[in-house]
Amino acid sequence: MNATVIILFLIIVGMTLAITYYAAKRTNTASEFYTAGGGLTGWQNGLAIAGDYLSAASFLGIAGAIALNGFDGFLFSIGYLVAYLVVLFIVAEPLRNLGRYTLADMINARFDAKKIRATAALNTITIVIFYMIAQLVGAGALIQLLFGIPYWVAVVIVGIMMTIYVLFGGMTATSWVQIIKAVLLMVGTIIISFMVLAKFNFNIFEMFTTMKTATPLGEAYLNPGVKYTVPLDTISLMIALVLGTAGLPHILMRFFTVKNAKTARSSVIWATWIVGIFYVMTIFLGFGAAAFVGADVIKSSNAAGNMAAPLLAQVLGGDILMSFVSAVAFATILAVVAGLVLSGASAFAHDIYGQIIKKGKATEKQQMLAAKYASLSVSVFSILLALFAQNLNVAFLVSLAFCVAASANLPVIVYTIYWKRFNTTGAMTGMIAGLVSALVLVAISPSVMSPVAGAALITGDPIFPLTNPALLSVPIGFIGGVIGTLLSNKQDAKRFAEVKVKANTGYKTQV
């Protein structure tokens, strides 16, 4: 680890701790802890959403995937970007108008039932755990590569930092860490993209023409089919990415940090522009790494290609730019895991403790204590899991989290807002069918079972052929909601009418 890396690392840590100190003075109520008091503006929340969404998998993983696999690597960029259209047009505004702190609050606006709140909280916790393990294991491995420190030290450092942000600064500190990270990430990506384009004389056509001969793949580099040779598997993965974003609890929670639906819509537009521009620039990162670093060098550092962007930065800008990119990667990891801790803690403290155990009668002091104990518990549990999972291949857990979100959360969100006949039984069957089908199908898929010893968690032939089950589990979630609804005679047209008015106008829910 050189001096420049240490200095940039300390600057980021110092900035984020100063924000946390500032935020801690302004975090005295449950509303301020969970949602920053609903006081963020559209552009602030848009940057925070982008900071929450653009994980290390996007920055380092996609750049490496494009560098090694060409067009197939860019499929992730397309999926992650299109996903925001679903969020923008279907979820953002009704969610803000109906909810308070969590997804369960939004569903409970129509069905005042503890079992639905408990099931929604279970879905949230399941998604957070899957996503968190993947992020922390990836963080440990990446920081080990970037900074040359042991894996367990890297995991503990990230764990301590995310705990401090959430425990003392709540959503305010988490939001500003995500905003800073988004700005740093965009600055770093723009600089590298500009330098790559300069190498091609600022001519996009010259870049694409050059790439036909710049890699061992030849012209196939620019065509689909290099990595994903099973069309159904590719379609299933895209379904999980496109529909799963609208059900991710740490993304949904961000819409409660603004004062009304108009600001929520504005923040999604900001986020879509930022996320869109970033994913377009991943082409320059990937192409640049393939052309100026080379596949062999990238693979020698990390077989999955995660070091492509830092290595490209070193080739283009020397140790200073590589150190900056490494620091950005560190900030990226911190921002995402802090958001995950907060969403997991809110499910425990607000939904299970505050609304189910205390029946919504917890005092402000009890709510704050529960939120902080839950944050600490989620952090410690996640760190322990990550330490034990060091040698496991957990990369599939991110796509599984998207799959569970799309299968278990999205159907009930859509039905709650738009289907008059939908009832409590349908909500329960929809959420459980989506969750169980996603978990069972993954457990018998090639992601978990492989005939090659050591290649997956279980040695044996996979029973389900697709690595991501969204193609099947998402329809099961939607069909489960329909069957459950039709099996019950209960329906409340008056409650649906109230929900419809609230979802479209924000009436009675304005902060």
**Residue ranges of domains in the chain:** 3-392
Per-residue pLDDT at 394: 63
SS3 40: strand
8 A C-beta contact, residue 265 and residue 172: no
Per-residue pLDDT at 510: 45
CA distance 285 to 193: 6
Per-residue pLDDT at 479: 96
Per-residue pLDDT at 10: 83
pLDDT in tens, the chain (511 residues): 567 777 888 888 888 888 888 888 878 888 888 888 888 899 999 999 888 888 777 777 888 889 988 888 888 888 888 887 888 778 888 888 887 788 888 888 888 788 888 999 988 988 888 888 888 887 787 777 777 788 888 888 888 888 888 888 888 888 888 898 899 889 999 999 999 999 999 999 999 999 988 888 888 888 888 877 788 888 998 899 899 988 888 888 888 888 888 888 889 889 889 988 998 999 999 999 999 999 888 888 777 777 888 889 989 988 888 888 888 888 888 888 888 888 888 888 888 888 888 888 888 788 888 888 888 898 898 889 888 877 666 667 787 889 999 999 999 999 998 899 999 999 999 999 999 999 999 999 888 888 887 777 788 889 999 888 999 999 999 999 999 999 988 888 888 888 888 888 776 544 4
Per-residue pLDDT at 1: 59
CA distance 465 to 445: 6
Per-residue pLDDT at 428: 93
SS3 418: helix
Q: Quote the pTM value.
A: 0.85
Q: Which of 343, 11, 302 is nearest to 142 (CA)?
A: 302
**Domain 3-392 sits in CATH 1.20.1730.10:** yes
Q: Which of 401, 417, 418, 409 is nearest to 480 (CA)?
A: 409
Per-residue pLDDT at 422: 93
Per-residue pLDDT at 403: 92
Q: What are the angstrom distances between the C-alpha of 161 and each of 133, 241, 384, 430?
A: 16, 28, 15, 37
Per-residue pLDDT at 101: 81
- Enclosing H/E stretch for 458: strand 458-459
In this structure, the strands spanning 458-459 and 449-450 are parallel
Per-residue pLDDT at 167: 83
